[in-house]
Amino acid sequence: MSVSAAISAEQTEAARLACADEHAFQLAQNATTSTGIRKAARTMSSVAHATTSFDIQLEQGEPTNQQRSGRCWMFASLNTMRFRIMKKLGLKTFELSQAYPLFWDKYERANWFFENIISSANEPLNGRELAFLLFDPLCDGGQWDMFRSLVKKYGVVPKEAMPETANSCNTADLNKYLTRYLRSGAKQLRDAAAAGESVDELRQLKAELLQGVYRFLSISLGEPPQSFDVRIRDDKNELKVSGTYTPQQFFSEFVDMNLDDYISIINAPTQDKPYMRSYTVKYLGNLVEDGGVRYVNLPIEALKRVAVAQLKDGLPVWFGSDVDQGFLRDDGVLDPAGVDVDTLFKLPIEAGLDKAARLDYGESLMTHAMTIQGVNLDAEGAPVLWRIENSWGDDHGKKGYDIGSELWFDEYVYQVVVDKKYLTADELKAYESEPIELAPWDPMGALA
């Protein structure tokens, strides 16, 4: 006997009757329709467990705020760097310009996009790779390797040297209109390639297009300073810095960080990505001369081990996660047990997929970058709770911080950036091996 593909009236009636006389269903319905799913599923025990005092607790400045932009990867990176400046100069708070790397990232990413258009000139316009390149060439998101490239080339500046603008705080229109310009440029380049023009001729056209990109960014964000005057006083009102610096000089003297020592470690427990292997992602990057990203895939215990080691040495940790999973935003709590939707609905919603399956079936990937500023350890020295600096302002969570459980780290952290000295010899050898190239749409190519 064949089974119909359509939903029958009998099926629907059976589903209705299964709910009708259940007391727990009525309670869940009342709570959920009144407050929303996440609030109805909120567990008080997870909120109570989220302490604000930690075994290892680094002190950072005032919380930063990315506002209505997708620059979390920049904010998280700059937060690791301003920490060093504050420590070096004895400052209570300090902030680096986030508009400055935004300008150069858009500029460099436009060049990266045009180069990819040139190299793929023979690809069909309706093919998957061209569709990927054209879909969102200028999004705000990024990864650590991309930020490292920006800073190595352009340095950093204090926030007062290039302050926020209406368009850096809310990048929607900037991205909308500049993306339209880039797609127009892509058509010009493909048309020129189809007409038989050489790569050198295409790059000359690209140079003209990039002049337009610079003009657009300068009007929207202001021009980035080639040099700037700066005066910085410490908590005792003593003048610690006074002079004129280039962005590269300022980074070298006050951040004092060997960027090449800091590498990305990912956790992707899927069958297609064996551990102890190096990976890159096709078309992912921003500076043409630096190439793309690289990371080594390790078990989650390795990510926790190196993160704790760097915290013990007094330095914060950049990391990328799927932030909305198990998130009680108002409480500043990141914990899968904190949002118990499975009990609320009596369905295997959270339990239905493990971490590997969530990646394989499009349920999860890295969406947000933040900075780990502390950790609680159990009697054996294993991490049980993480203190996380966000970039959503001081009215978010616990005065700008979130608290992440051990389970949340296991399930939803995908990337950490640490000094390579914390890796074992075998792990470092795996990182330095020839990377396997992943498809452009692979979940580990997601941008925070």
Catalytic residues: 72, 368, 390
**Phi–psi pair at 289, nearest 5 degrees:** -70, -20
How far is residue 307 from each of residues 93, 317, 392, 429, measured CA to CA in Å? 24, 6, 23, 19
Neighbours of 89 (CB within 10 A): 16
- 77 touches 318 (CB < 8 A): yes
C-alpha span between 385 and 54 (Å, rounded) = 8
SS3 419: strand
Pairing of strands 327-328, 333-334: antiparallel
244's CB contacts (< 8 A; 6+ apart) are: 227, 228, 229, 230
181's CB contacts (< 8 A; 6+ apart) are: 209, 212, 213, 216
SS3 374: strand
C-alpha span between 206 and 50 (Å, rounded) = 52
Q: Which of 189, 192, 170 is nearest to 111 (CA)?
A: 189
What is the distance, to the nearest Å, from the Cα of residue 188 to the centroid of all Cα atoms in its chain?
A: 32
Enumerate the H helices of 36-143 as residue ranges.
37-41, 44-49, 72-89, 99-119, 128-135
N-term to C-term CA, the chain? 50
Residue 161 is classified by DSSP as G
- 101 touches 147 (CB < 8 A): yes
What's the number of CA atoms in the CB half-sphere (13 Å) around residue 205? 21
- 373 touches 388 (CB < 8 A): yes
